[in-house]
Structure 1
């Protein structure tokens, strides 16, 4: 079904004007407005053909009206594309009733049941407008109901010429049946689409609440420790006059806590940006060796304290085409994880080489590794429980998720090879500068 919709362009038309800056409820209203406009265009074309075949009174006037309405509904789609959503909705709720008024006043009267559509259009504003726009909801609702009451109780049957199809009572009845079935179909389709998107909104709310809880958990646990450590050492430094060796130890601990807090905050902010789709990508040609050295310098103290040795083999001339902030964050996270999950006095290897249109960066360690379940969760973008490093270092569980999303946003690829107690090898393919 999705393939069929994509092939005939329906999905494209339904999503005209929908962008990442809109909240989910507004996006649903825009899609529903597009859906009603599309149904209106198809319906007016259909009735224009049927009226011509059946010999409806004043058929050429009706065809002109149908043509005008089709053009207006097409313009409404254009307004949504240009993000003029309120104008599009107000114009839509008035435009869809225009052909009914002319059909009922000029051509059919209350024959054929076309005035039943007023009941359908009386419900349309409830799914098109928000509660804050209740004036338009009530105005359109009562206006369409008044039209329905008028034609139901005060309308007169249409006068049809002898020899035309519409002169036959059974053809008139077929038009009435068609009107009833079309009304039911339109209501069912709009409500089904609305329910589908209501379900999406509920899922989005659950996801947002889960993200909020995770953020509070990270702030409460993963930042509390490093900040508490910094507070303790700052108190020690301000209240005593430490010896040189004690001062160096305290400053090193402060630096470690600062780095840890910075990485936690950076991962948290990047994760929130990715989840809210507000993480712009700025691609440019960059020197890979420089970014690796910068990340290594930041984490050197963490590696030295654990006795970790770096094994770096990266040509100084290698360039990549990527976002500097994102790729630097990815490299820092992977280096930090390699140190965290390596055994004391282990080795973290970093190699890079040209491979076609990509530069392959390989980061490997001989640490505790990852299970197949963890790798699968990471590839599916699902958070997994926080794990501890070989010396009790704690992480947020967000680092690899952030890396995966950031690499995907830049057209990069990441492959993870790992098994418990056998170490981890992560290969990143980054587009080169060509």
Structure 2
């Protein structure tokens, strides 16, 4: 029963057909199409009952038409579910006008004011279609306006049977008032929903521009240094004849700059993929010690330059269930930060402990630590301003932000314990291999 209620609640119906691959504008149009279809289903059900109770002329025929329209609107929701969005919108703009044509021709005439709905439906294509569909928009707009003009100026009042509720002029006027109020309500609801989503589009544009500026800033500043260093040392190696000691120093600096550039680019690409929701997790059984050792091998030069002492206490037999690329990026970022913010000759300790359903990987340093505000930024998923390590190492501010999002996508969590000048302990909880 709970499953049934969940599947048919309003929010679910409004989001039928929405997926992560859709851009925001298309998502808005699909949601509006779903909203109009739902309103159409409810409206046809309502009028089917009212026509029967009030004794409207040819109400049996109208009930058959209402049933046909309701089935068509349900089919339109199904088309959106199957991602046939254009066909769904075209059928919607045709279907919603069908009951109005028949109710004004075979039942009420122009007595109930139902033809006012044509004015509402004349506006609907402007919020359902993009500018590229302008000819279809104009066609639907003109056809609905022609229907309105025809029934307003050339339509005839309905022939109501004496003894029915509709024979009373006051009941007829009540239907007219209901038509006007319903039209205004539908316009207000659709426009309110449209404005709400327009605000979402504007916010998305602002967010996208901020991300673009941040990407350009990282490319301009955080890659300029290491690439400039590589260029200088490559020039030195190609233009001079260095001795063995000079060559080793140059090669070490090249390797360090290459690693730094690689980490910056990987963090940047992972962040962009995560923001665009195109970074699916591929979960598999992995050896935790191998993951930690691979990260240590990549960062060995960075650690040795600062005289960092490693201590790794992770069992060789311990396995975890996660995405290899994602968890490797997380472990590498956390260890890199531990080295970056450790004092020269400091120590990085990596341990693990077993929980009932997860392995807790602890990465501990005795460096400069973090403030309470910085830990709150991690918990809220906010990007850091660019920070510098104890020897002026520069970062992007994206590392822990990327890590937090990656861990969420594979069922992992991260806890941070830190105090200024007291070091930092980061615990990554990873599901145990099944």
Instruction: Mark yes or no: TM-score above 0.5.
Output: yes
Matches within 5 A, 1:190-269: 190-269=190-269
SS in 2 for 1:284: strand
Q: Work out the CA distance in 2 between the residues paired with 1:424 and 1:279.
A: 29
Is residue 2:383 matched to residue 1:373? Answer: no
SS in 1 for 2:112: helix
Q: Work out the CA distance in 2 between the residues paired with 1:376 and 1:238.
A: 49
Q: Work out the CA distance in 2 between the residues paired with 1:327 and 1:81.
A: 34
Q: Work out the CA distance in 1 between the residues paired with 2:216 and 2:18.
A: 31
Unmatched runs of 5 consecutive residues or more in structure 1: none
Matches within 5 A, 1:93-112: 93-112=93-112
Q: Work out the CA distance in 1 between the residues paired with 2:347 and 2:356.
A: 29
For 2:42, the equivalent position in structure 1 comes to 42
Unmatched runs of 5 consecutive residues or more in structure 2: none
Check the 8 A contact 1:109/1:158 in 2, yes or no.
yes
For 1:24, the equivalent position in structure 2 comes to 24
Quote how far apart the aligned CAs of 1:228 are: 0.3
Quote how far apart the aligned CAs of 1:353 are: 2.3
Q: Work out the CA distance in 1 between the residues paired with 2:8 and 2:135.
A: 37
Matches within 5 A, 1:80-229: 80-229=80-229
Q: Following superposition, which runs of at least 4 residues in structure 1 exceed 4 angstroms of deviation?
A: 5-8
Deviations 1:324-356 (A, max 9, x none): 000000011011100000000000000012211
RMSD (CA atoms)? 0.9
Further displaced range: 38-47 or 376-385? 376-385
SS in 2 for 1:278: coil
For 1:335, the equivalent position in structure 2 comes to 335
Deviations 1:68-95 (A, max 9, x none): 0000000000000000000000000000
For 1:63, the equivalent position in structure 2 comes to 63
Matches within 5 A, 1:351-366: 351-366=351-366
TM-score of the pair, normalised by structure 2:
0.98
Quote how far apart the aligned CAs of 1:381 are: 1.2
Further displaced range: 374-383 or 404-413? 374-383
Would you say how many aligned residue pairs link Structure 1 and Structure 2? Answer: 430
Quote how far apart the aligned CAs of 1:7 are: 8.9
Quote how far apart the aligned CAs of 1:8 are: 6.0
Quote how far apart the aligned CAs of 1:260 are: 0.2
